Amino acid sequence: MSLKFNIRHLEQHNLSLQGELSPAELEIESLDELIHFQEPLLYDLELQKMENAVLAQGSLRVVLHCECARCLKAFDRPLSLEEWACHLPLKGEEKVEIVDDVVDLTPFVREDILLSLPQQPLCEPECKGLRSPGKNLASGGLEKKDLTTPAWAELNKLKL
């Protein structure tokens, strides 16, 4: 079930909407290789009618299951839009689509969630990435003992 409301219910008083949307309803379950939507999106919204528009405001929350872009470690990251707002014009060129007096907020919620996703999720800001064999991440180069291995011994004999 998507996030819909009847525009006629706003003529007398504001509407309060609370609930959840599954990733399938938001059509965002498999958009990124490193970010996975497995939990439902929780919403708590207040809708009010203005002169020629509807104002929806409230909070959106979801827990993202991510893989670090540097080390591929799995981690959860909460995504919270606490002061989410959406202006839905009822007239003009950019008016919202109304079908049988019903407006669907789902596309607007999906768009703002997608815009809030991290471009490269990191398990922690200082993540150094995967540790390569023979590489000292603290110094940023090869360790001294790696230069004396048999593979390097032949190269050390070269006179360049």
| Section 57-65 average pLDDT | 95
Average pLDDT, the chain: 86
Q: pTM of this prediction? A: 0.75
3-state secondary structure the chain: CCCEEEHHHHCCCCEEEEEEECHHHHCCCCCCCCEEECCCEEEEEEEEECCCEEEEEEEEEEEEEEECCCCCCEEEEEEEEEEEEEEEECCCCCCCCCECCEEECHHHHHHHHHHHCCCCCCCCCCCCCCCCCCEECCCCEECHHHHHCHHHHHHHCCCC
